[in-house]
């Protein structure tokens, strides 16, 4: 077998962002300025870093970014009011509430309050349901980024057996839906799965998104498999702290044909597809508004 391909998420993300920037410039020339609003509740350091990176990428793409930061003691009612104001603002095309939220705020209630057309995270039940039906909706950014890497690596995915390890609403379930849409045969493995290792070893594609460091090694993998490692885990080894995935890279390299590294694999794709979702939302809302205005004119 040839040396395994390390799937470079940084290069792929740069491609996506360059296309987004080009399309944003075209929209601006037509008088539409794509806009993303981000709400950050509290002062969690990791969340602040994520929001800062999202705002920076938006600015680089020419997308207007609005950042709303409120204290951790902010009421759920106030957060819902902020969302409703943004829902009604035609100049805002995408709304993102940075997770996790403080414990006194119901995450599901907040996510359901976002207009599905502006739900650039793809977490609203209307978008989740549409995705399960194979419709073109705003889908979660990480799984969509994973699909981009898989298509870039393998081309047509039809008929491939894909195993998704993990069943979270953010990655595992939407990942399975996107793979089904691409005509894969899909198996989801989770904490209650029996013979997980044996089943995984049958897969042409493995997407590990379980949050357990180095869980998947060569014994889990079919020779020539393509592995997408979504996990980002910090461990201490040899007196040093380092980031690792859910896949034991050193072991997996003896079996796979291609694999994403951690870091530098899936991570950059998430923000890139957040920008693409914002652009898509802006296009869809502009088209919807134009159709509505045309309808009003024809009636009058």
- Catalytic status, residue 28: no
- Catalytic status, residue 21: no
Please identify which of the residues 23, 119, 121, 229 carries the catalytic annotation: 121
Please identify which of the residues 54, 173, 222, 255 carries the catalytic annotation: 54
Beta strand extents in 35-166 (DSSP E only) = 35-41, 64-70, 94-97, 161-165
Per-residue pLDDT of the chain (300 residues; tens, 9 = 90+): 578 999 999 999 999 999 999 999 999 999 999 999 999 999 999 999 999 999 999 999 999 999 999 999 999 999 999 999 999 999 999 999 999 999 999 999 999 999 999 999 999 999 999 999 999 999 999 999 999 999 999 999 999 999 999 999 999 999 999 999 999 999 999 999 999 999 999 999 999 999 999 999 999 999 999 999 999 999 987 788 999 999 999 999 999 999 999 999 999 999 999 999 999 999 999 998 877 666 655 665
Output the pTM of the full model: 0.94
Cα–Cα distance measured from residue 107 to residue 86, given in angstroms and rounded to the nearest whole number:
18
Contact 251, 36 (CB under 8 A): no
Cα torsion 232, 233, 237, 241: sign:
positive
Cα–Cα distance measured from residue 196 to residue 55, given in angstroms and rounded to the nearest whole number:
39
Cα–Cα distance measured from residue 166 to residue 69, given in angstroms and rounded to the nearest whole number:
32
Please identify which of the residues 98, 119, 222, 246 carries the catalytic annotation: 98
- Catalytic status, residue 19: no
Phi, psi of 64 (to 5 degrees): -65, 130
Cα–Cα distance measured from residue 62 to residue 53, given in angstroms and rounded to the nearest whole number:
14
The residue among 178, 141, 136 whose CA lies nearest residue 20 is: 141
């Amino acid at each position: 077998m040839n040396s395994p391909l390390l799937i470079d998420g940084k290069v792929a993300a740069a491609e996506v962002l360059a296309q987004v920037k080009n399309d944003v410039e075209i929209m601006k020339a037509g008088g539409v300025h794509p806009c993303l609003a981000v709400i950050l509740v509290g002062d969690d350091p990791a969340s602040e870093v994520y929001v800062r990176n999202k705002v920076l990428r938006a600015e680089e793409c020419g997308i207007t970014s609005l950042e709303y930061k409120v204290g951790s003691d902010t009421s759920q009612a106030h957060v819902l009011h902020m969302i409703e104001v943004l829902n009604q603002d035609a100049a805002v095309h995408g709304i993102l509430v940075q997770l996790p939220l403080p414990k006194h705020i119901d995450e599901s209630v907040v996510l359901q309050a976002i207009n599905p057309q502006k739900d650039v995270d793809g977490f609203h039940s209307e978008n989740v349901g549409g995705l399960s039906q194979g419709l073109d909706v705003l889908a979660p950014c990480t799984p969509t980024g994973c699909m981009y890497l898989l298509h870039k690596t393998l081309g047509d995915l039809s008929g491939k057996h894909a195993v998704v390890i993990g069943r979270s609403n953010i990655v595992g379930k939407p990942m399975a839906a996107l793979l089904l849409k691409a005509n894969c045969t899909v198996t989801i493995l989770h904490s209650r799965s029996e013979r997980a290792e044996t089943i995984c070893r049958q897969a042409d594609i493995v997407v590990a998104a379980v949050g357990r460091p180095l869980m998947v090694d060569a014994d889990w993998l079919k020779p020539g498999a393509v592995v997408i490692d979504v996990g980002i885990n910090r461990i201490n080894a040899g007196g040093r702290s380092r980031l690792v995935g859910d896949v034991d890279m050193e072991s997996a390299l003896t079996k796979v044909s291609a694999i994403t590294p951690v870091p530098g694999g899936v991570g950059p794709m998430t923000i890139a597809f957040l920008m693409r979702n914002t652009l898509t939302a802006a296009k869809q809302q502009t088209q919807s508004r134009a159709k509505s205005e045309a309808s009003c004119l024809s009636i009058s």
